[in-house]
């Protein structure tokens, strides 16, 4: 690990006292790899990913390294995510049917965790201001098979203007100084300076201002960071409750065996944390103990902070009405192609109050309750069904990953050799026992959809996306860096 900044060492030596020795030692230690199992998939038994024990505060979390070329990763059964980051989703814990906003969602670790709780019901809106990161978010949403998500790329202010008081819960995993990731991210160390946490705190306040506007009365904001910085943690929560007295801080449960700690009331005093005074004036703010801190010297994970706040239910309602998604109608040719594809490919297909929408020639099945998206930058809207091409409809890779294999008429269970050929983009020649007819075939790996093939003249033409293809080989270089978010 790169040398820690002197100002950082001085600050946390002062704040942590004797425990700072163990703290700095932990930052020099190894990084613990972990992942989550995706319960939305048909088969969650892992074929080629190690299980080194369960993460104590995550029902789907396990320790172990994930290969980016493993069947379990490619088919969206696992998501590589460091252990502490998995605690955040457990605190949000959305209910099926709720409207949820993940306001700073890239690369998708927490969005896909929230989706696991929602069971494909309700609306999960995942936003990322930076388009290049939003594309990565969209790719991960696709891989994990989410059907009820909207992926957008907007500033918080743009979003709040469109969706006032719209969401039941909002997660802000805030852009932060990243101190909690120092031992796994050298860049975070290099960009840190004494005033950096305060600079990020100003940005966080701007984002929270907009988040408050989008939360319905009685709803919850879950605020998290991957930093130790009091300016971005306890001081941020103290500011939020002062600025918006309609919010109440809720207790976060911290079972003893998890070694998760209370927030620090004394650290809400900036003069104290800056070293300007030696006795904090906020030690009586016991309410801040309801927040949670995850310290690398106390548990097997990186640094995180989490707070849960609830908005009063008697806040006046906005006079702005959010309109529903505008319906579209397929033209006669599109309707004919879609009807043919559905009847030939699905055992049974139900809209379940969802509606189709088009982006050019690409057909999406929007989640129930999707609002009007006119003028918005949307990267993904529910399930991408496929693309209308000349005289044919070509199903999307996302559709293969989102649906249960038993929902399709034709599916082919790949052998190990077939898998290697499929992800490399080769034609597959099924064994003589395969009963296939000309048409689309769901390619199945370890019980889950992996992509599409088209059976023609005794062979399966390969439609695995060219940008995802690779040659199967297990090396240490395949191992993924955990999603720290």
The residues annotated with a catalytic role in the active site are 226
Residue pair 96/119 in contact by the 8 Å Cβ criterion: yes
Query: Quick one: CA dihedral 237, 238, 242, 247, positive or negative?
Result: positive
Give 379's DSSP letter. Answer: E
Phi, psi of 358 (to 5 degrees): -115, 140
Query: Quick one: CA dihedral 129, 132, 138, 140, positive or negative?
Result: negative
Q: Is 457 left (phi over 0), alpha (psi -120 to 50) or beta?
A: left
Angle at 89 between CA 273 and CA 94, to 5 degrees: 125
Residue 327, classified by CB atoms within 10 Å of its CB into exposed (0-12), middle (13-18) or buried (19+), is exposed
Structure tokens at 273: 């944390």
Give 390's DSSP letter. Answer: T
Enumerate the H helices of 93-245 as residue ranges.
Answer: 109-118, 131-143, 156-162, 186-191, 196-214, 234-243
Residue pair 437/455 in contact by the 8 Å Cβ criterion: yes
- CA–CA gap between residue 319 and residue 333 (Å, rounded): 42
From the list 166, 116, 170, 159, the residue with the least C-alpha distance to 370 is 166
Count of residues in the chain: 485
Q: 452-460: long-range contacts at Cβ-Cβ below 8 A with a sequence spacing of 24 or more? A: 452/395, 452/397, 452/400, 453/412, 453/422, 453/428, 455/410, 455/430, 458/429, 459/427, 459/428, 459/429, 459/430, 460/412, 460/427, 460/428, 460/429, 460/430, 460/436
- CA–CA gap between residue 181 and residue 81 (Å, rounded): 13
From the list 308, 307, 292, the residue with the least C-alpha distance to 259 is 292
Torsion of CA 455, 460, 463, 464, to 10 degrees: 140
């Amino acid at each position: 690990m790169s040398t820690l900044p002197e100002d950082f060492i001085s600050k946390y030596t002062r704040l942590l006292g004797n425990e700072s020795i163990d703290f700095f030692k932990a930052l020099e230690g190894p990084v613990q790899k972990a992942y989550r199992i995706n319960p939305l998939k048909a088969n969650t038994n892992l074929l080629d990913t190690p299980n080194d024990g369960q993460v104590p505060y995550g029902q789907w979390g396990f320790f172990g390294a994930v290969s980016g070329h493993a069947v379990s990763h490619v088919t969206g059964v696992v998501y590589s995510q460091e252990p502490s980051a998995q605690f955040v989703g457990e605190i949000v814990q959305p209910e099926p049917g709720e409207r949820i906003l993940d306001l700073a969602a890239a690369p998708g670790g927490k969005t896909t965790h929230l989706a696991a709780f929602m069971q494909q019901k309700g609306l999960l809106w995942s936003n990322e201001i930076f388009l290049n990161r939003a594309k990565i978010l969209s790719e991960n949403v696709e891989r994990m098979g989410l059907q009820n998500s909207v992926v957008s790329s907007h500033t918080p202010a743009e979003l709040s203007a469109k969706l006032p008081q719209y969401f039941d819960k909002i997660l802000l995993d805030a852009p932060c100084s990243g101190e909690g990731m120092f031992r796994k991210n050298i860049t975070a160390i290099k960009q840190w300076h004494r005033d950096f946490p305060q600079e990020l705190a100003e940005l966080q306040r701007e984002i929270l201002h907009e988040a408050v506007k989008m939360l319905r009365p009685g709803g919850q904001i879950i605020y998290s960071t991957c930093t130790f910085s009091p300016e971005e943690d306890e001081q941020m929560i103290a500011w939020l409750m002062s600025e918006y007295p309609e919010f109440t801080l809720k207790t976060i449960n911290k079972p003893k065996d998890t070694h998760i700690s209370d927030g620090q009331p004394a650290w809400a005093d900036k003069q104290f944390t800056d070293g300007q005074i030696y006795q904090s004036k906020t030690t009586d703010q016991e309410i801040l103990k309801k927040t949670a801190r995850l310290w690398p010297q106390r548990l097997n994970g990186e640094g995180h902070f989490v707070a849960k706040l609830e908005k009063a239910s008697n806040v006046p309602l906005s006079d702005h009405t959010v309109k529903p998604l505008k319906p579209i109608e397929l033209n006669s040719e599109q309707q004919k192609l879609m009807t043919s594809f559905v009847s030939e490919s699905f055992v049974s297909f139900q809209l379940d109050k969802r509606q189709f929408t088009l982006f050019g020639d690409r057909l999406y099945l929007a989640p129930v309750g999707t609002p009007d998206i006119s003028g918005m930058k949307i990267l993904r809207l529910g399930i991408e069904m496929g693309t209308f091409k000349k005289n044919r409809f070509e199903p999307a890779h996302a559709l293969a990953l989102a649906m249960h294999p038993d929902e399709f008429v034709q599916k082919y269970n790949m052998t190990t050799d077939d898998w290697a050929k499929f992800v490399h983009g080769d034609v597959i020649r099924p064994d003589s026992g395969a009963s296939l007819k000309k048409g689309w075939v769901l390619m199945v790996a370890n019980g889950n959809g992996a992509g599409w093939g088209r059976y023609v003249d005794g062979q399966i033409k390969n439609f695995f996306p060219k940008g995802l293809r690779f040659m199967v080989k297990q090396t240490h270089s395949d191992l993924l860096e955990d999603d720290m978010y």
